[in-house]
């Protein structure tokens, strides 16, 4: 006898006869084929499972005879269930025994490679190779003399920018267009610095950063995408212009400019979420103040428009944060290269703050940005320290090596504890205290790098 099962859900695919095998019973049912399985399970439990068994199990699921579980979010038709198929209703925590093989070839075939090298991975590898070749060529151009290298770099900048627009607009390959336009940015910077002539200095850096801003502003217009990439270059260019301008106007050292720019770049990361929402033109919620305002409220939110702007704001935030942390990492490297007694402590404080302030974000790109840039800054600082203290065992073995070992130990402990222990509020509070202490130390250290204390002592003497 076949029982017809009715549900409150609207069915669009008619009925399908199935044989349902429960823990103790077997029943034939005619169920709606267009209703998601989650809507059918309560009714199926009443027909195939006793109340005693239903209470003992922690949950139920439907499977085919080969043990493949059916997705409760889709219907029988979408699951490939046909008329007269046998379905098994069993507790969700049941585990199928491993299959038995009588031939080693079947085992090898079962555990063979499921997915090979994909097209996306090929494109990524090619993009890395293209980037390395272009940057290497630009390094060769920058090392040249005369105006010819600058002209070649300028031509490359224009061709890359126009090529990116052609790839994006004509061939509908936006990622390739973004890569080409992004490579036009360093080409433009090298061309500007080379055409200026003379020994490279703060003036060359200022002009190069200004060209970075110009090309970064043209990139999204030409390509029609890549907001995150060009936003990162724009923010980095702004801080580069600021640092170069400080050196040009004050005739100070790059370390002194970094003592100002790097802390500012790290501090403004807290403003980037608001800026990303403003740039993406995210609609603000309308709060009615009068009866007329309440009557004029829109009935429904334009879901697709809001979703698109949320996605753009998320990408924009990733780019803005990456630009800020890149500027901070460059500042840390310049502070370490100065080799001053106060530059090293400030570089270390900024490095720790980059890692601690990564806790402000949750998404992978936004968290990976400070960690990656801090790692690059650590490598640069280590290289500078080793080169400056070459042959000095006291400095190398007494300072550099212990600091790196302590950092490796802390990273090991954090990695081992992650996922094994629940977040501890006391640990979070301790990190907040450490971050606050380091923030308070930034301004005194920056003043020390600028030599303010030495000037005050000279005035007092």
CA distance 199 to 209: 17
Kindly report which listed range (166-170, 175-179, 294-298, 322-326) carries the lowest average pLDDT score: 294-298
Does pLDDT of 80 surpass 50? yes
pLDDT of residue 113: 58
Banded model confidence at residue 414, pLDDT cuts 50, 70, 90: confident
pLDDT of residue 451: 85
CA distance 352 to 375: 11
Q: Which residue has the higher pLDDT, 358 or 65?
A: 358
Highest mean pLDDT among 152-156, 385-389, 392-396: 152-156
Q: Which residues pair with 19 in a beta bridge?
A: 28, 86
Kindly report which listed range (28-32, 148-152, 431-435, 444-448) carries the lowest average pLDDT score: 28-32
CB atoms within 10 A of CB 414: 10
Q: What is the rounded average pLDDT for all residues in the chain? A: 84
Q: Which residue has the higher pLDDT, 400 or 176?
A: 176
Kindly report which listed range (78-92, 238-252, 297-311, 429-443) carries the lowest average pLDDT score: 297-311
Q: Which residues pair with 90 in a beta bridge?
A: 61
CA angle 437, 443, 446 (to 5 degrees): 125
Does pLDDT of 6 surpass 60? no
Does pLDDT of 413 surpass 80? yes
CA distance 455 to 461: 10
Does pLDDT of 384 surpass 80? yes
| Residues 150-154: contacts with CB under 8 Å, at least 24 apart | 150/190, 150/191, 150/192, 150/193, 150/194, 150/195, 150/196, 151/191, 151/195, 152/191, 153/187, 153/188, 153/190, 153/191, 153/194, 154/187, 154/188, 154/191, 154/195
Residue 47 backbone dihedrals phi, psi, to 5 degrees: -90, -30
Does pLDDT of 419 surpass 60? yes
Q: Which residue has the higher pLDDT, 271 or 283?
A: 271
CATH topology of domain 15-91: Ubiquitin-like (UB roll) (3.10.20)
Does pLDDT of 174 surpass 80? yes
Mean pLDDT of 150-167: 93
CA distance 315 to 23: 50
Kindly report which listed range (12-16, 252-256, 297-301) carries the lowest average pLDDT score: 297-301
Mean pLDDT of 24-42: 82
Banded model confidence at residue 38, pLDDT cuts 50, 70, 90: confident
Question: Cβ-count burial of 378 within 10 angstroms (0-12 exposed, 13-18 middle, 19+ buried)?
Answer: buried
What is the residue extent of each domain of the chain?
Answer: 15-91, 123-285+301-387
Kindly report which listed range (86-100, 112-126, 354-368, 392-406) carries the lowest average pLDDT score: 86-100
Q: Identify which of 63, 64, 29 has the alpha carbon closest to the alpha carbon of residue 44.
A: 29
The β-bridge relationship of strands 60-63 and 86-91 is antiparallel
Does pLDDT of 12 surpass 50? no
Does pLDDT of 10 surpass 70? no
Q: Where are the alpha helices (DSSP H) in 251-359?
A: 254-267, 272-279, 291-295, 303-338, 343-356
Highest mean pLDDT among 55-69, 139-153, 290-304: 139-153
Does pLDDT of 196 surpass 50? yes
pLDDT in tens, 130-153: 999 999 999 998 888 888 988 999
Does pLDDT of 8 surpass 50? no
pLDDT in tens, 339-377: 788 899 999 999 999 999 888 888 888 899 999 999 999
Q: Which residue has the higher pLDDT, 170 or 104?
A: 170
Does pLDDT of 13 surpass 80? no
Helix, strand, coil share of the chain (percent; to 5): 70, 5, 25
Banded model confidence at residue 5, pLDDT cuts 50, 70, 90: low
Banded model confidence at residue 125, pLDDT cuts 50, 70, 90: very high
Q: Which residue has the higher pLDDT, 36 or 244?
A: 244
Two tokens, residue 148: 């010819």
């Amino acid at each position: 006898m076949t029982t017809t099962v009715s549900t409150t859900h609207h069915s669009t695919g008619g009925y399908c006869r199935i044989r349902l095998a429960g823990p103790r019973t077997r029943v034939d049912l005619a169920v709606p084929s267009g209703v998601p399985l989650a809507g059918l399970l309560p009714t199926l439990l009443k027909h195939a499972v006793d109340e005693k068994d239903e209470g003992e199990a922690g949950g139920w699921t439907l499977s085919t005879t080969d043990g493949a579980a059916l997705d409760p979010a889709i219907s029988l038709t979408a699951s490939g269930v046909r008329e007269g198929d046998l379905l098994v209703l069993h507790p969700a925590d049941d585990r199928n025994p491993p299959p038995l093989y009588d031939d080693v070839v079947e085992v090898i075939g079962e555990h063979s490679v499921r997915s090979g090298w994909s097209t996306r991975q090929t494109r990524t590898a090619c993009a890395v190779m293209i980037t390395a070749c272009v940057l290497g060529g630009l390094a060769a151009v920058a090392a040249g003399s005369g105006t010819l290298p600058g002209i070649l770099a300028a031509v490359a900048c224009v061709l890359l920018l126009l090529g990116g627009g052609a790839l994006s607009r004509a061939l509908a390959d936006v990622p390739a267009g973004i890569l080409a336009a992004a490579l036009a940015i360093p080409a433009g910077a090298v061309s500007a610095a080379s055409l200026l002539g003379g020994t490279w200095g703060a003036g060359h850096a200022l002009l190069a950063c200004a060209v970075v801003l110009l090309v970064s502003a043209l990139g999204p217009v030409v390509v029609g995408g890549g907001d995150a990439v060009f936003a990162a270059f724009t923010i980095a260019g702004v801080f580069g212009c600021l640092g170069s301008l400080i050196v040009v106007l004050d005739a100070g050292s790059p370390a002194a400019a970094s003592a100002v720019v790097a802390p500012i770049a790290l501090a403004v990361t807290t403003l980037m979420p608001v800026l990303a929402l403003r740039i993406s033109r995210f609609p603000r919620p309308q709060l009615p103040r009068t009866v007329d305002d309440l009557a004029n409220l829109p009935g429904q939110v334009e879901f697709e428009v809001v979703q698109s702007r949320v996605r753009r704001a998320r990408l924009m935030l990733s780019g803005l944060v990456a630009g800020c942390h890149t500027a901070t990492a460059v500042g840390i490297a310049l502070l370490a290269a100065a080799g001053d007694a106060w530059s090293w402590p400030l570089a270390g404080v900024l490095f720790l703050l980059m890692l601690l302030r990564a806790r402000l974000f949750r998404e992978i790109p936004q968290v990976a940005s400070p960690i990656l840039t801090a790692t690059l800054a650590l490598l640069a600082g280590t290289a500078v320290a080793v080169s400056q203290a070459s042959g000095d065992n006291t400095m190398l073995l007494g300072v550099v090596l212990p600091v790196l070992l302590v950092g490796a130990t802390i990273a090991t402990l954090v990695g081992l504890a992650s996922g094994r222990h629940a977040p501890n509020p006391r640990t979070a509070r301790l990190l907040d205290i450490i971050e606050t202490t380091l923030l308070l130390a930034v301004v005194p250290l920056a003043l020390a790098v600028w030599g303010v204390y030495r000037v005050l002592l000279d005035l007092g003497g």
